[in-house]
Amino acid sequence: MRYSIIILNYNVKYFVDACLQTILKATHNKSVEIIVADNNSTDGSKAYLESKYSSIKFLWFPENSGFAKAYNQAVKVAQGTYVLLLNPDTLISEDLLEQLDNFISSHPDFGIIGGQMIDGTGHFLPESKRAIPTAIAVLSKLLGLYKKLNFYPFTAYYATHIHHNQTAKVDILTGAFMCLNKKVFLELNGLDEQFFMYGEDVDLSYRVLKSGRPNYYLSSAKIIHFKGESAGKSPDYYQNFYQSTLQFYRKHFQVRPWAEFVAGKLLKVWLWFRKQQKTSKLSRPVFEYIYFLGNEKEYRKIKEKYPSAHQISKFSAIDQFPALLIFDTETYKMSTIISWMVQLKNKPVFFRFYFPKNNIIIGSDSKDQLGKVQKVY
């Protein structure tokens, strides 16, 4: 067995469903096993997923023990030489494994390979590649300074010295997409279970570097990541981010008590100011024009759901905005869809992904907004 692809689910069965459909296309006739580890979901995931995917290995955990512990248990039972860890809210391109195979053959000493993540609007996700989170880098991320001070060290957090279409060595990769040798994972005792949700990927990336193995950002390995479906950004997000970063520093570096005290106080003040600000809820856009890229049979189904929808044969046929573009994932390859999204990302076009096998439509209109799932009957 060459690859074990492992997905962790917690109450996002429809996104797991969509993810699995893209994985099955990418792994057809390949030496791959697929494992879904479930952290005690309460949304009916077990009955829903087991009835649809008899060839997939499911691990149903009796409690939610966190990201790290679930993945560690899944890797222990995995049979593949390499493990590919994926978030459930991802869709992968059909050539993903070929991209990984080609890179591994020429870089056998690799530690972790990550790829280029695109959000639901077609924009590049900067967390696809990161640097070691120094104090200045973390402060820049929290305060958004990297958006205004476009120079090092303020831009270090997202390794912006590497273009998103450039393959290169990086320090830190995200747990949403990590490929590594199972032996290396076990040799380093896997993910540190002291981290419940945030920071375990940073910690593992850093330990891989310390072991003498380089980590790589592989720009040609592309996936869509609907960032936020597994957790969502709650008001406690930044507090948890700070705690996990502090935990990482306590583990690997010397943290002076006065610096920790000052950082904690500054964070509390900053969080207080954020709570005082009037936060405007992200509203879902109103779509005046709806287009469908797919075959005639599926178009008839979409027409029942969206009576004003127009069938088109190419995305350049969109001539009225703001528009909603629905992709038929059975008609078009995910790699093609990703390419079209990138080309349209700066236009007032929003995207949905239609999966005819299970009659679901998913999508996300912002990297900071939870996605939407619709049933097509």
Chain centre to alpha carbon of residue 232: 12
Burial of 233 (0-12, 13-18, 19+ CB in 10 A): middle
Q: How far apart are CA 151 and CA 136, in angstroms?
A: 12
Strands (E), 49-143: 57-60, 82-86, 90-92, 113-118
What is the distance between the alpha carbons of residues 22 and 28, in angstroms, rounded to a whole number? Answer: 10
pLDDT at 230: 47
Burial class of residue 276, CB neighbours in 10 A (0-12, 13-18, 19+):
exposed
How does pLDDT run across 275-294, given as a tens digit for each residue? 555 454 555 667 889 999 99
Rg of the chain in Å (alpha carbons) = 21
Q: Which of 327, 323, 325, 320 is nearest to 298 (CA)?
A: 327
* Verdict on whether the full-model pTM lies above 0.85: yes
Contact 5, 84 (CB under 8 A): yes
Distances (CA, A) of 6 to 85, 199, 238: 5, 19, 27
Q: Which of 155, 247, 171, 159 is nearest to 206 (CA)?
A: 171
Look at strands 360-363 and 32-38 and give their pairing. Answer: unpaired
Are 89 and 226 spatial neighbours (Cβ–Cβ below 8 Å)? yes
On whether the CB atoms of residues 363 and 120 are closer than 8 A, the answer is yes
Q: What is the pLDDT of residues 49-70, one digit of tens each?
A: 999 999 999 999 999 988 999 9
Helix (H, G, I), strand (E, B) or coil at 330: coil
Q: Which of 14-23, 34-43, 231-240, 353-362 has the lowest mean pLDDT?
A: 231-240
Amino acid at 96: L
Tokens representing residue 265 in the block: 């106080």
- pLDDT, averaged across the chain: 88
For 137-189, the pLDDT digits (tens) are: 777 776 777 777 777 777 778 998 899 999 999 999 999 999 999 999 999 99
CA–CA separation, 281 and 133 (whole Å): 30
d(CA 238, CA 286): 30
Which neighbouring-strand residues pair with 310?
291
Q: What's the CA gap between 127 and 178, in Å, rounded?
A: 12
Q: For the domain 289-375, what is the CATH code? A: 3.40.50
CATH number of the structural domain 3-129+164-225: 3.90.550.10
Task: Dump pLDDT digits (tens) for 229-287.
Answer: 444 455 566 667 667 777 777 888 776 776 666 666 666 665 666 555 545 455 566 78
CA nearest to 213, candidates 188, 191, 194:
188
* Three-class SS state of 5: strand
Going by C-alpha positions, the residue among 302, 309, 284 that lies closest to residue 364 is 284
3-state secondary structure of 78: coil
The β-bridge partners of 57 are 35
In this predicted structure, the answer to whether residue 23 has a pLDDT above a threshold of 60 is yes
Strands, sheet with 360-363, edge to edge from the N-terminal-most edge strand: 310-312, 289-293, 323-328, 349-355, 360-363, 372-375
